[in-house]
């Protein structure tokens, strides 16, 4: 997909990232997940990267290691609760603990409701909502065993507004927002929760759109788009805060866009 306006930001200069943490990132093979891995590796954190495309993860982990970072990878399907548990336990086994889980994996096959693409609805619910819940269920006991942790859940500006063809997608992101706020309220200081809601961002999300009209509309909508590194910077900011500071919500939009 071609965007008419883009912004480049690929060189990371760590700015007081704080102590090194163990961070697990879902959906790390491309887009926001990959950019977050690059930024957090530059900040000195130790990473476990998860996604279904293991070949991409392997290449990214090797690149980060060669650049002085510490990154390992594991195949991950967030719709499979057992797979997510294995992913979280792998982080603990390899690095001794898990400090941060970035629940980033997501899909966005937009279409009007009257197209009745129920298989795509189910896929969005499974990845975007159940994937986050599986991450929380797997990581919460591990984090608490080691004294606390931090969930960074990736939502969307669609968590605050609804647009045509995006009803189900927005519903999943509203759910992620609600789940994040519920987890924050139920925590007693040991668990931090950050909701990051990107506006239009360069990624492969729109590649999942099979409805022709929705796909064409998204090309126009994405004419002005942030680089994924802008979202990675926001995540890095939240992760770098001291333990007594919980950055609850960050919304990041292109300055040149009204969306």
Q: Which residues are identified as catalytic?
A: 169
What's the rounded Cα separation, in Å, for the pair 247 and 238? 6
Q: Which structure tokens are listed for 196?
A: 């990051």
Angle CA(160)–CA(161)–CA(166) in degrees, nearest 5?
120
| Beta pairing partners, 70 | 46
Check: CB of residue 152 under 8 Å from CB of residue 101.
yes
Of 175, 178, 88, residue with least CA distance to 130:
175
Question: In this structure, are residues 50 and 74 in contact, taking their beta carbons and an 8 Å threshold?
Answer: yes
Asked whether 24 and 48 are in contact (CB, 8 A), the reply is: yes
Strands 100-103 vs 70-75: parallel, antiparallel or unpaired: unpaired
């Amino acid at each position: 997909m071609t965007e008419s306006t883009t912004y480049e930001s690929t060189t990371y200069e760590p700015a007081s990232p704080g102590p090194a943490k163990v961070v697990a990132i879902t959906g790390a093979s491309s887009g926001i997940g990959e950019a977050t891995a690059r930024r957090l590796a530059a900040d000195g954190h130790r990473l476990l990267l998860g996604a279904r495309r293991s070949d991409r993860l392997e290449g990214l982990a090797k690149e980060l290691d060669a650049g002085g970072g510490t990154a390992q990878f594991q195949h991950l399907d967030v719709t499979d609760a057992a797979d997510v548990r294995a992913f979280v336990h792998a982080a603990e086994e390899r690095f001794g603990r898990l400090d941060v889980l970035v629940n980033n994996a997501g899909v966005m096959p937009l279409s009007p409701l009257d197209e009745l693409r129920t298989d795509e609805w189910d896929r969005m619910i499974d990845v975007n909502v159940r994937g986050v819940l599986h991450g929380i269920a797997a990581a919460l006991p591990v984090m608490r065993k080691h004294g606390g942790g931090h969930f960074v859940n990736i939502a969307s500006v669609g968590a605050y507004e609804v647009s045509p063809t995006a009803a189900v997608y927005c519903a999943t992101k509203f759910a992620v927002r609600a789940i994040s706020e519920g987890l924050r309220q139920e925590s007693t200081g040991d668990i931090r929760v950050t909701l990051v809601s990107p506006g239009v961002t360069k990624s492969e999300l729109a590649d999942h759109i099979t409805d022709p009209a929705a796909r064409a509309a998204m090309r126009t909508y994405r004419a002005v788009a942030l680089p994924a590194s802008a979202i990675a910077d926001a995540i890095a900011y939240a992760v770098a805060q001291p333990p007594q500071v919980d950055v609850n919500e960050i919304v990041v939009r292109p300055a040149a866009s009204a969306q």
